Structure 1
Amino acid sequence: MNLLVVNASPRRERSLSRRLGAAFVAEWLALRPHDGVVQRDVGIEHPPLLTEAWIAACFTPDEQQTPEQREVLAYSDAAIAELARADLVVIATPRYNYGMPAALKAWFDQVIRIRRTFRFDRAEKTWPLSPLLSGKTLVLLSSSGEFAFGPGGLRERWEHLEPHVRTCARYLGVADGHLHHVAIEYQEFGDERHSASVRDALDGAQELARRLARSEPAPGVRATG
């Protein structure tokens, strides 16, 4: 199997989401040491933002694209190729202002691309997906300063990270029921609740890795202290 690990934290050090991602991958490779792992660090090496030139190139048939247009789409082509090869996508990200960081949104914008990963069918009013992007599992590993974003929680209505990722996940080839979320909370408080949340999330990430690596059914996980 092939893993694509997308890190979205701008921190090189002391990043809790990177720590979760590293724990997940380490546990996975302990069971499946010959699997491939590709790292895409959007938190440090930011994806290009969409521009008018990008949109024009995107809607131009491949055989009519100029060299300049192909260059504009080079990042998107590479990111989509990585995604197409992946069986499991791991997104490790902080939650900023109740949603995903701008760099992660930019990555989604680069890989969800008309005529490459989906197309419009105006007659049927559907958006067929590319056959290259199917049968994938997505693991979302997040960290946040606040708490209680889960169902019934104090901040459930303010939670826009997981719903946004879940909506976009189908365009990555992730079917319903194949997205799993492990979260660290309470970071801004720095108290025992945060320490417990870190411990629980690390345990949850490792347990999820073991279940998925063994191809066992794994229900969605939310380890939130």
Structure 2
Amino acid sequence: MTNTQDHITVLRVDASARKNGSISRDFTNRFIDTIADRVDVAILNHDTAEGLPFVDEDWIGANFTPTDKRTEEQKEKLALSDSLIADLQAADVLAIGVPVYNFGVPASLKAWIDLVARAGVTFKYTENGPQGLLTGKKAYLFAASGGTQVGSAIDFAVPYLKHALAFIGITDVTVIAADKTAVDIDASLQAAEDQLDSALSGFKQAA
């Protein structure tokens, strides 16, 4: 992606339980700080580690009730989902921190996906299958793992997120991976640095 816009909106989504010492948060910070020096950036922040509700029976009932027939309680039940989706719709770029926990994504990040993947809002069903409605966006996944190699047969985090994003229309996805840090942290961080530099090259330097 070569950015040609003078202003972009970035939606940052964090998921690491660590507020300090998190590799995924660190690379996401550096990505956003660098592009903010190059273009005018508005940042929307969601830290899923601070807690998101899980989808429950009442939420499902509200979601499948036609908009014009929802009760006030149902509207309130969907209010957080509506807000998260509004930020997603407003974003040009997504920067998602992806710590790999036990081969998959943290439960809080899965909860975020469940809240923003809504039929008729972020995707729709057609005679040719589901169609994502959030097109024209770019996503960056900042993945970090101790022992799981990103993209390997035991990585159920990054492929899942790429599929979930594509399902809602976001197919342009770049992965910056600091994986297997428990094996060789220096090599892992250097590889991620190189990937980050390559990703940042798509954003023009300020004049």
Q: TM-score, normalised by structure 2?
A: 0.89
Give 1:183's aligned residue.
Answer: 177
Paired residues for 1:40-189 under 5 Å: 40-43=46-49, 45-121=50-126, 124-130=127-133, 133-150=134-151, 156-175=152-171, 178-189=172-183
Q: Distance in 2 between matches of 1:68 and 1:169?
A: 29
Q: Secondary structure at the match of 2:158?
A: helix
Give 2:13's aligned residue.
6
Rounded Cα–Cα distance in structure 2 between residues aligned with 1:147 and 1:103: 19
Listed one character per residue, the Cα deviations across residues 81-103 of structure 1 (whole Å, up to 9, x for unaligned) are 00000011111120011111111
**Alignment correspondent of 1:153:** none
Amino acid at match of 1:169: L
Question: Quick one: which amino acid aligns to residue 40 of structure 1?
Answer: H
AA paired with 2:160?
Answer: H
Deviation at 1:40, TM superposition (A): 0.8
Q: Deviations over 1:6-56 (max 9, x none)?
A: 001011111110001001111111111x2211111112x222100000000
**Letter paired with 1:185:** D
Q: 1:206 to 1:27 in 2, by over 3 A?
A: farther
C-alpha distance 23-203 of structure 1, shift in aligned 2 (>3 A): farther
Q: Distance in 2 between the 1:85 and 1:171 partners?
A: 18
**2:62 is aligned with 1:37:** no
Which structure 1 residue ranges, 5 or more long, are not aligned? 151-155, 216-225
Q: TM-score, normalised by structure 1?
A: 0.82
Secondary structure at the counterpart of residue 158 of structure 1: coil
* Partners of 1:27 and 1:210 within 8 A in 2: no
Shift of 1:134: 1.0
Query: Which structure: greater strand fraction?
Result: 2
CA distance in 2, matches of 1:66, 1:148: 47
Counterpart CA distance in 1 for 2:32 and 2:67 is 36
Look up the equivalent residue of 1:36 and give its one-letter code: A
Aligned residues with identical type, % of pairs: 32
Q: Select between 17-26 and 141-150 the one with higher mean Cα deviation.
A: 141-150
Give SS of 1:77's match. Answer: helix
Q: Secondary structure at the match of 2:186?
A: helix
Q: Distance in 1 between matches of 2:187 and 2:76?
A: 47
Instruction: Check the 8 A contact 1:47/1:75 in 2, yes or no.
Output: no
What SS does structure 2 have at the residue aligned with 1:108?
Answer: helix
